[in-house]
Amino acid sequence: MKTILKKPNVTTIVASMLLAIVIIFTTACETENITQGDYADAEYLDLEFYDKNRRTAKDYEKIFEAIRRFDAKNINGFYQLKETTPEELNISPKLFKHVTYLFNYTNRARNSTLYESSKGMVRLKSGDFEDQDPRDPYCAAYCVSKLSFWTSFNKAKNYSDEQYGIGFGVPPDKMDEYIDHFLPNYKVGTSVSDLQQATSRKAIVTFGRRNDNGVYDPIGHAAIFLNYDEVSGIAIVEDANTGNSELVLKEDIAKIYYKE
């Protein structure tokens, strides 16, 4: 007995083709919507190395590019971010987390309740936001001990105490002579050119802070220089003791000490 195969009619063929087109179109739309906003067609950003000891110049370029993609409003020195997901900026979740950390930590560092003015540079005690100590003024000593092979923190701290008083740290107007004592081959500068010439993790930046009203206070902080972006006018610096990083505007930088 022969089996008779029915030929599909024209209506069935057309319906199948339309269904396939709808499925393809829907899938394509869903794929395009994964990345939304102004950066859907921009380069997808991620770092090769997140470890600061291994980070390359290309990695820093991508970090600064990610920073510029944020719609970040700087109000009286505090950043307010509009974006809440990495898809809005076409960057990796890990890079999104890293950059939002930079913004958030910078805000916490500028919180006037965590800092108080003194005769020396003021610094954070530890990386825990709940364990901040604004009374430890030895950020310059931490920086020097980080960059000078022959200088321990205690040696740098004791010299500071002997020269400027116990517990006061290094006054801003004495930073040049203090740095020159331990790092005599270092140059002091204030220009964009100096920031561009400085080597990452081999230079010291001093900078002031702004209070809740946006008023600049030159008595601020000394930290290790990581990198600078001329486009945004932002530098990334690292606390020499805790390893925490924050963002500093060029206009808030007092000086940079670096080896040519």
Average pLDDT value for residue range 91-112:
90
What's the one-letter identity of residue 179?
I
pLDDT band at 122 (very low <50, low <70, confident <90, very high): very low
- The ranges assigned to domains in the chain are 37-108, 118-259
Half-sphere exposure in the Cβ direction for 186 (13 Å, CA)? 25
* Span 118-259 CATH architecture: Roll (2.30)
pLDDT band at 215 (very low <50, low <70, confident <90, very high): low
On the question of pLDDT at 68 being above 50, the answer is yes
Q: Which two tokens stand for residue 153?
A: 């923190």
pLDDT tens for 216-239 read 666 678 999 999 999 999 999 999
Query: Structure pTM?
Result: 0.77
What's the one-letter identity of residue 12?
T
Q: Which residue has the higher pLDDT, 97 or 36?
A: 97
Phi-psi region at 205: left, alpha or beta (left = phi > 0; alpha = psi -120 to 50):
beta
Q: Which residue has the higher pLDDT, 53 or 67?
A: 67
pLDDT on residue 27: 42
Q: Which two tokens stand for residue 185?
A: 């081959």
pLDDT on residue 8: 53
